[in-house]
Structure 1
Amino acid sequence: MKPKTPQQVFDLYDEYCHGYMDRRSFMNKLTTYAVGGVTMAALLESVMPDYASAQEVAEDDNRIVSQRITYPSPKGAGTMGGLYVRPATVAGKLPGIVVIHENRGLNPYVEDVARRAALGGYQVLAPDALYPLGGYPGNDDDGRSMQRKRDPNKMFEDFVAAVRYLQSREDSTGKVGCVGFCYGGGVSNLLAARLPDLAAAVPFYGRVPPLDEVANIRAPLMIHYAGLDKRINDGWPGYEEALRQHGKNYVMYMYDGVNHGFHNYSTGRYDAKAAALAWDRTMGFFKEHLG
C-alpha cells in the first residue's frame, strides 16, 4: 500500500505549477518530505501528470470524429489552432462547447476532456493557446513557460474567437457554452462577463472576473471549487456577493477535502468521486442550457 501523500506536497506542487516557485525551489523543498522510506521518486510520482495511463476516450474511438483545425482570431493570434471533435453518428446541427485548458497549453488531459464532451452530443473545440508558438511542446514544464510568453489579452481573444467560430459554423445551432480548468476556469468566468450571447459557462477552480464586470454576465454559471484550494477560494465571497447583488443565474459546488485540479485524472490531486460528480453535473447543466 502506497503511503499517503502529505497535503503540504500538494500545496508545494500547486505553487510550482502556477508559477509561484521555480523547479529548483520546488525540488529542494520536496526533499524535506522524502523521509521514512518515502523517496523523491515516489513523491514526484504522486503529483506529476501521467497522461498515458489517464486517457478515458481514445483518439481513434469510433464514436467520435476529431481533427486538428485552424480558425481566425483577428484580435488575438490572427490564426489559432486546436482540436475539434464531434459525435460520429449524430446528423444535423449541434450546439457547441469550448474546452479551455490550464496554464500549460492543450495537453493530453484537456484533449481527452474534449473527446468526453463530444460524446455528450456536442461539437467541441479545444484551442491551444500555444499554437502561435508551435503548439503544446509535449510536457507541462515547457508548456507553462511558453504560455507565460503570450500576451494575456490576445490569448483571451483567441478563446473569444473559438466561441465565435463554433457559433458561426453551418452545422451549429448557435448555442455555445464553455468549460475551463484552472487558468481556463478564469477564462470561462471572463467569457461570461464579456460575451452576452454565451449560452452557459462552467469554470472549474478558476479566478473570478473583475467584480465590476459581473453585472454584464448573461450566461448561467455552474462553478466548481475544491475545498482545499485556499488560493482560488479566497475570491469566492466577493464574487458570490456580486452575483447575488445583480441577480445572476448561478450555482456553486464546493467539493470538500479535495485539491485544486481534482478533475485532472492524470495527477495525484485527482479525486475520482468528486471528479465524476462534477462532470455529471457539468454535462447535465449543458444539456439544460445548450440542448
Structure 2
Amino acid sequence: MSNPPKHTASDFHPEALRLFDQFVHGDIDRRTFISKAGRFAGAFTAVGLLETLTPKFAYAQRIAGNDGRIQAQYVEVESPKGYGKVRGYLVKPVNITGKLPAVLVIHENRGLNPHIEDIARRVALENFIAFAPDALTPLGGYPGDEDAARELFKKLDQPKTQEDFVAAFHWLAQLPESNGRVGAIGFCYGGSLSNLLATRLPTLAAAVPFYGSAPPLEAVPAIKSPLLIHFAEQDERVNASWPPYEQALKSAGKAYQAYQYAGTQHGFNNDTTPRYDEAAATLAWQRSIDFFNQHLRTSA
C-alpha cells in the first residue's frame, strides 16, 4: 500500500516548486537549481530541498511486481520506423476470460522507472492489459537514477521515439488476449505524447493525458478518439497551451472532457513526490478508469 510523502506541496515556497519543475524538465541544470533555490528553501538547504522533492519509489509502491493477481514481464516490440526495437513492461490480470481491452501507459521524461511500472500494475488490476514501453530502450533503458535518466532523455531522436510508441500501440492491439481496443494514458511527457498519438492513430479508442502539452494544432482535426484531459492548477508551463488547444478541439467538433484540479502542482498524480495530491489523484484516477471502461469495453 502506498505511503504518502511526508511533505506536501504546501510545505514548499511556490517559487521553489517552479524551480523544481524547470529542473525536472531540463530548463535549468542541477547547479542552477541549487543556486536559485536557496532563498526559497525555508527550513531546508537547497540540496536538502532537491533531495526531498526527488521521487522515493520504494515508499510509494502499491502493487508488488510479484503480486499474485497479475502476471508481469518485460518484452521487446519490433519498431521498424523507430529505433528498431522498444522494450516495455507488459502486465495482465491472471485468469483472463474472454478478451480484454488494453492501455498503453506512457511515462514521464525519465523513462520506464519503478513508479510507471507500478502504474501499469494498477491499470492491470482494473482488468485491462497494460503495456508501458521504455523510450530509453535505444540508450540502454532506464538507468536506475532519475538525474541520469533525464540526461539520457535529451539524447533521444523524438520522431523515432514517437514511432516506437506507435509500434507499441499496434502490437498491443493485436495481442491474442486483446479485444483490439486500446487507450493511452500518459503523464507529463507521456501526457504530451498521448495528445500527439491521438492525432496519429485513427484507431486509438481513448486518450487520457495528465498535464501534457498540446499537440500541433493543425493536427487536431485528425483526432478520432475521445479525450479526458487532466490539468494541475499551478502549472503555468503546460496550462499555457490549453486555451488554443481547446479552441481547436471545439472548432473541429472533437469529443473531450477537461478537468483542472484546484491547488495542485504539475505531477500531482505521482505519489512518490511531495507534489502528490491524494484527493485530486484519487478523483482523476477514478475518472480515468471510468473513461476507459466506457470507451474500451465496447465493440464500436
TM-score (norm 1): 0.97
Indicate which of 258, 270, 273 corresponds to 1:267: 273
**2:26 matched residue in structure 1:** 19
SS in 1 for 2:60: coil
Q: Please give the residue correspondences for 1:178-189 in structure 2 after superposition, counting only pairs within 5 Å.
A: 178-189=184-195
Give yes or no for the alignment of 1:193 onto 2:193.
no
Give yes or no for the alignment of 1:135 onto 2:151.
no
**1:210 matched residue in structure 2:** 216
Q: 1:149/1:42 Cα in 2 relative to 1: closer, same or farther (>3 Å)?
A: closer
SS in 2 for 1:52: helix
SS in 2 for 1:212: helix
**1:32 matched residue in structure 2:** 39
Q: CA-atom RMSD, angstroms?
A: 1.3
| 8 Å Cα contact 1:179-1:188 kept in structure 2 | yes
**1:6 matched residue in structure 2:** 13
How much does 1:41 deviate? 5.3
| 8 Å Cα contact 1:64-1:86 kept in structure 2 | yes
Per-residue CA deviation, residues 3-27 of structure 1 (Å, 9 max, x unaligned), is 8211111111000000100111111
How much does 1:91 deviate? 2.2
Identity, in percent, stands at: 50
| 8 Å Cα contact 1:67-1:84 kept in structure 2 | yes
| 8 Å Cα contact 1:96-1:176 kept in structure 2 | yes
How much does 1:42 deviate? 4.4
| 8 Å Cα contact 2:13-2:41 kept in structure 1 | no
**1:55 matched residue in structure 2:** 61
**1:167 matched residue in structure 2:** 173
How much does 1:92 deviate? 2.5
| 8 Å Cα contact 1:5-1:46 kept in structure 2 | no
Distance in 2 (CA, whole Å) between partners of 1:120 and 1:173 is 15
Distance in 2 (CA, whole Å) between partners of 1:194 and 1:166 is 16
**1:224 matched residue in structure 2:** 230
Q: Please give the residue correspondences for 1:96-107 in structure 2 after superposition, counting only pairs within 5 Å.
A: 96-107=102-113
SS in 2 for 1:227: strand
SS in 1 for 2:248: helix
Distance in 1 (CA, whole Å) between partners of 2:145 and 2:13 is 25
How much does 1:89 deviate? 2.2
Per-residue CA deviation, residues 242-267 of structure 1 (Å, 9 max, x unaligned), is 11111111000001110000001101
Aligned amino acid, residue 250 of structure 1: Y
Give yes or no for the alignment of 1:121 onto 2:156.
no
Unpaired runs of at least 5, structure 1: none
Indicate which of 66, 69, 72 corresponds to 2:72: 66
| 8 Å Cα contact 2:196-2:215 kept in structure 1 | yes
Aligned amino acid, residue 29 of structure 1: K
Give yes or no for the alignment of 1:156 onto 2:162.
yes
**2:294 matched residue in structure 1:** 288
How much does 1:150 deviate? 1.0
**1:145 matched residue in structure 2:** 151
How much does 1:93 deviate? 1.5
| 8 Å Cα contact 2:112-2:135 kept in structure 1 | yes
TM-score (norm 2): 0.94
Distance in 1 (CA, whole Å) between partners of 2:273 and 2:51 is 8
Unpaired runs of at least 5, structure 2: 1-5
Indicate which of 240, 251, 264 corresponds to 1:245: 251
SS in 2 for 1:111: helix
Aligned amino acid, residue 180 of structure 2: G
How much does 1:45 deviate? 4.0
| 8 Å Cα contact 1:189-1:209 kept in structure 2 | yes
Distance in 1 (CA, whole Å) between partners of 2:48 and 2:295 is 43
